[in-house]
Amino acid sequence: MNMPMPSPVLPEQLMRLIARNGGASFGEEKSGAIRGVPPRPMEEVASLVLKGDFVDIRPLEWALLLRSGNVWEHSEASALATQVCIAANSNASLEHKLSIRFADAMAGNKRAMAGVLRNAVHHYQFRGRFQKRWKLLQNLDKGKVRMVADELANRNKETVQEGFDAVGAPAWQPLVLKVAVELPDAMFRHAAFRKRDIAQANREHMGRWLIRSMEALSVEDMIKVADRLAGAFRREGTQVVRKWCAELIEWLAATIGPGAHGNAWAALKDESRNVFAELFGKLRYQDFSRMVDMIAGHIASLPSTEENQRQTKQLQSRKLFWMHYSNHFLQIRLLAPKSTHDQLKQDFGNMVELLTQDGSPESEVCILETERFIIVEFMRGRGSETRFFLPTKANRKCLMEGRLGCKRIRSMQSAKVHDHAFLWQGELIQWLHNHGMQPNPDVTHFKGVKRGHNRYDRKSGRLMEPPSADDLRQRKEGVEFWRKTIARL
């Protein structure tokens, strides 16, 4: 084997060179040389390897051989690569170096391993204690990422990182991510989701496993997995997903939803946000519905008066109306007066805050964030109304984070103020349609609207049966009274 002799390098210079070029990052021992004795030329080391004479090759010499450029360009490089694999199968130190370099090459480092050596490692059948590690690495190199993800899903215990660690495989970030983005599809391929007679507890367990797996990732990588998960949710159907994955959806809403810390929501793909918004919206509407029921329960505990009965009807009409737009809800904030704050806070935590008292009539103020508008509902009392604000950064900071009272909110510039007078729903339905906010896809009738006048025409965005002349007169009088009432607040 005629190879060019390397230029002589002193041991001290060699050690500095290895350290400077990342030798230690590949698991190469800086103490591999016998003190004062330089490593042999790579020509000599390669000849020994080709003969199968591995015994006297020192760790540093193996390390230098793996990274030598000239050796791997020689005509016998293919045979040399196979011999390195054979040696590694019974040499833990060499096998470790080889696995690190192989993983580094798969992660995109073109200088980590010569192509001929990578090809040999790709095909070699490692045995014994290294077999599981190499099965994982070789499956990834062969593009069998789905198989790796399915194995993790079938065990549904380890995160990707833990799966790599369990077999001693280098958990480089690009490799972990390559598997992690396959986990959502692997989860839905699992028997827990494919067989109808499987207990719901098994699906919930799978959801918690995916949560753990995503929590182990960086925010950037988590977003990539979330985008893939949105695609899986879309294929399975949001109704099914809502039933099977409630805990997972709650975690996603808290972690990457619009109210979560950081800019994860904005970093998601548009189509992913659409899928998640529908799922989060149903959850937020459920919160809104429960809030209304609790406030109504508080009013029911008070002496029965005409005003209290009227307020209960106001609350129920708001609950029924926004049910038809529940897919749009991204986040809810409730500002409550002292009379209802403590009880609501106990049940809804950070979604509830104390409303600043400024002399306005007592009412809860519910703030509903959507993509199109930030909607402020003054829930009951003489000041009952709905205000729509554009979702600018300033409006969002003020309405979703600031300390607020009713007068402060009413002083802000809004896109629309709408009454709660008689037949208030019809005009608001039309206005929302004209401004790009449609009811949920399954809406054909509006509950809470007068029977016989509640059929919805999706094309025109109107209720199909117009009000009678008498109803219109009554509405006109109600709106005029509402305007005078609001002007006095």
* 464 and 315, same domain (yes or no): yes
Report how many domains make up the chain. 3
Beta strands in 238-350 (DSSP E): 331-336
* CA gap 341, 397 in Å, rounded: 22
Q: Which amino acid is at 20?
A: R
* 259 and 124, same domain (yes or no): no
* 386 and 462, same domain (yes or no): yes
SS3 content of the chain, % helix, strand, coil (to 5): 60, 5, 35
* CA gap 450, 472 in Å, rounded: 13
* 73 and 122, same domain (yes or no): yes
Which residues have CB under 8 Å from 363's CB, separation 6+?
337, 378, 379, 380, 381, 383, 384, 406
* CA gap 464, 456 in Å, rounded: 6
* 231 and 257, same domain (yes or no): yes
pLDDT for 125-183, tens place per residue? Answer: 999 999 999 999 999 999 999 999 999 999 999 999 999 999 999 999 999 999 999 99
In this predicted structure, the answer to whether residue 346 has a pLDDT above a threshold of 70 is yes
Residue 452 falls within a domain, yes or no? yes
* 431 and 356, same domain (yes or no): yes
Domain boundary among 88, 121, 142: 142
pLDDT for 41-78, tens place per residue? Answer: 999 999 999 999 999 899 999 999 998 888 898 889 99
**Do 5 and 41 form a contact (C-beta atoms < 8 A)?**
yes
**Do 248 and 233 form a contact (C-beta atoms < 8 A)?**
no
- Would you state the pLDDT for residue 358? 94
* 337 and 411, same domain (yes or no): yes
* CA gap 379, 375 in Å, rounded: 12
pLDDT for 84-137, tens place per residue? Answer: 999 999 999 999 999 999 999 999 998 999 999 999 999 999 999 999 999 999
Residue carrying structure tokens 């062969």: 142
What would the two tokens of residue 111 be? 């200088």
Residue 5 falls within a domain, yes or no? no
What's the DSSP call for residue 449? S
* 257 and 332, same domain (yes or no): no
* CA gap 235, 241 in Å, rounded: 10
* 338 and 255, same domain (yes or no): no
Which residues constitute the domain of residue 168? 154-268
